[in-house]
Structure 1
Amino acid sequence: MNEYAYFAVWLWQQKLKPGDLLDRVSVEQALTKWNEPATHEHAQQAIKLHGLKKTIENISAERIEQLLERGLSLSLALEKWNAAGIWILDREAPEYPPRFKKHLKHQSPAVLFGVGNKELLYVKGVGFVGSRSVEPADTKATENYVTQITQLGYQVISGGAQGVDETAMLAALANENTSVGILSGDLLKFSTSGKWRSHIRAGNLALLSINEPEAHFSPIAAMNRNKFIYLLSEACVVMRSDEKGGTWSGATEALKKGWVPLLVSAHKTPNYGGNSKLLEGIKGQVFQAQEVSFENIKDELMKYSKSTSPQSSQEHVAEGKPPVQSGNKQLGLGFDEGG
């Protein structure tokens, strides 16, 4: 991080932008300046880092060249992704979900990748999470809940995986509602799938990923993305959970962090083990999970909607549109202007 911070400041003081370094002539000029001690005087005064001299020594011209080679490869990838309709949001983009930054702070993703209607990131929604393995009763219950939340004006936020996620999203789209899918990988593959493409073109769907568009699914990535489903939702419905696995870890984290109300489905009798445990309570939780059924889910959602604070509503801009993007920002090499 010290090397990153110093080089970013140095670039800015040389009146260079990250995007400039994609040009070969600019690269050569930058490397020449880097080897001139006088160019470092102001940068060293501007940034106070422990062991700064050693930090500067570690940033050799060879290391800069290696990073730039990766940057050139990235520029080619960007062209490919742009042709597929994929957009990129950094943390300064107006459409970047403010709840990510509020709750995750410095751990919020530096970059988000997506495809589809960006304005859906600011439409109020209810999250749906659950197992990839589902029974007909789970599918029917999920579709029933989605119909009810659609009538209340909520869209569906889910993870795009087979099972509960996919069922909820497709049910919303079939109801002429909208949906946001937060993927753990394979964004490029999803964006070209016939299952989703027509909805993307119609502006009814947005797919979002914290991983680069060609990154493949992994269990770790799937568990890591769960928090973003909760943070983009007004409340989240747990359809089917075991007492371990991704759904369980995401739900217990949400309860402990107090991100959003957790609604646990009781469509199964006896209820699934994870569902029951969530309702019993877990150590250190901020919120108490509430049991929902076909009969009371509307009441529960209306209760939370009425109690939503003005700050929360303002964060989500539920009643309006996101700020207008003033122009497409070129993705640089990971260095912030001005450090």
Structure 2
Amino acid sequence: MKKLLLIDTTWPINSRSDRFRLSLMKKYAVIVSAWNRGANNNTICKENFYVLEDDIKYGNRFRKLISLPKFILHCLRVAKKENIEVIFASHWDSLICACLIKLLYKKNIKIIYDCLDLPTSHNKLILKVLNFIETFCLRYTSLTIFASRFYVSLYNSKINSVVFENYPSKSISNSYIKPEWRDLIENIKKDKRKIISWIGVVRYPNILSNLLAAIEKLDVNLFVFGDGPSLDYLKELTKNKKLCNKVHFFGRYQQQDLAYIYEQTDYVWAAYPTLDYNSIYAISNKYFESNLFKTVPIFSKKTKMAENLETFNNVLIVDEYNIEAVTNNIRDALDAGVSDCKFKKYEPDLFWEEQETKLFEALSSHGLLHNC
């Protein structure tokens, strides 16, 4: 088998990268190079995992940028030690690492780029630089994987590409395990309030603030599953607003917990800041998971994801920047009993494992599986 290096600038690696890792292990000997930027360097060593321990913390973009050369050197050392033939770059910052390894170490290394998110910055000059760097790196990329069908129109049609979105794994629908915090949830639900859940990385403080302002005026509970750079901010804001009786934190969850989480949830918050155009074109995990588990999603009205969903009575479309509108939209949905209506699916269920053939065909057609 060819040796493939999967580069991810987070630790643990994001769930999409891990699903790719499991799929690619069917065709490659997969090595992982990751970056633990958390304050607590307590990485559990695993075979075929090389994790750079750091202490710059997540959410600090400037410190990440100036520390990136150290991570690039780490990846270069791993590539040399393992005699890597193919690199899978998760996200555009990993693509920079992959291209430098190709240019500085081994010209015949093949690069697969997972375009998980679009390069983004509120600073227009920085954004131009990032777009230039990505475009330059794409010249050395054998295959680009788009995580959203809406990304395709933003890139040169001449690049080799395939759309492979954040389809849920069959394992999350087949497994139903009550987590250790199930008793706490069942106790909270005795008050009969409807549940709005935030599921995933806790970020976007301005949106979290708006959501909390809406929760303050509604007779609902907010469940927060996950952690992230804005978790402490949200906890402090909850405390300051004296909403501890309505906002409940459950920390990180496992993929096998999702069926239970969605069963306990009436509305899933998936309205992210559309001033960041990445949010306009992306398709979140919640898009597929809400459809799979028949739970009402709350999407931003300016997103491509929401464009064709306004006719579905089980989808809530909001302006995430307008607190009054968000409050009224949710209140109207509560009054109408939207979450109690029969759920109408907005697209057929697609599973990661069922789409693997499409992925392998794309890899093969671009010479990435030869001699495996």
Q: TM-score, normalised by structure 1?
A: 0.32
More strand per residue: 1 or 2? 2
Q: Give the greater-gyration-radius structure (CA).
A: 1
Q: Which has more helix, going by share of residues?
A: 1
Return the structure number with greater relative CO, CA threshold 8 A, min gap 6.
Answer: 1
